[in-house]
Amino acid sequence: MDEEMMFGISWNVISSSEGFYYGTVTLIIDNQCFPKGISMYRTINVIFSHMKDSMSYLNWSDGSNFEDLGNVVIDYNQLNDNKIPNILSIGLAELEDCFIGFEKYGGIYLKLGFCGEFERLFYNDDNGSTFREIRLKRGSVKKVINSLPNEDELEKMLITQKPYFTAKLIDY
C-alpha cells in the first residue's frame, strides 16, 4: 500500500479444494475497504485471474493503446452502461456480486481511463448508481494487479497460514 493508501489489494487464503483457493479479498481504494459490509469467502484465484486478464487488454505497461480521456467530465450513467470509449472495465468476478436484500453491501466495480501522466480509476459499490474517481500515477493499477500471486504462490500462503498479504503501489 502506498503512503496515501490510494489503491491496494489485501487477501487471506483460508482453504483450497480441487485447484481453487478460498478466503477473503479486500480492495483498498482511497483509504476505504471494498466490498463493504459482508465479509465472505471468495474464490481468490478466480478473482485474481479476472483482474489479470483485464490488464492484458493494456498492450503497453502504461496503457498507451487506449486513447487519452483527458480531464473530460464523465457521465456516470454512460460509464455504468459502458458507453464511454477508452475505458477499461477491470473484471472482479465474485467481488461484483450484490445479493438481494444486501444491496448496500458488496458489489464493487472498477473502470480505468487515462489522462496524460495519470490514470483515472472509477469505482462504484452501489450497483452503478454513482461512481467515484481517484487519480493515480499512470501504470499504478496494472503494477498492483500484476503483483498478485499465482496459484503456486497461493498454495505456499495456505501452507504457511500467514494472515494477510497486500499488493502495493510501487514507488517510481
Q: Determine, yes or no, domain membership for 17.
A: yes
How far is it, in rounded angstroms, from Cα 156 to Cα 48? Answer: 16
Q: Determine, yes or no, domain membership for 23.
A: yes
Tens-binned pLDDT, residue by residue, of the chain (172 aa): 544 568 999 998 999 999 999 999 999 999 888 888 666 789 999 999 999 999 887 754 444 467 888 888 998 888 888 888 888 989 999 888 765 555 555 578 999 999 999 999 999 887 777 899 999 998 899 999 999 999 999 988 888 766 555 555 444 4
Nearest in space to 167 (alpha carbons), one of 43, 38, 18, 48: 48
Looking at 56-116, list the stretches that DSSP marks H as alpha helix, in order from N- to C-terminal side.
76-80
Q: Determine, yes or no, domain membership for 172.
A: no
Cell 500515477 belongs to residue: 137
Total domains in the fold of the chain: 1
Q: Which domain holds residue 21?
A: 7-167
H or E element in which residue 166 lies? strand 165-167
Q: Strand, helix or coil at 27? A: strand
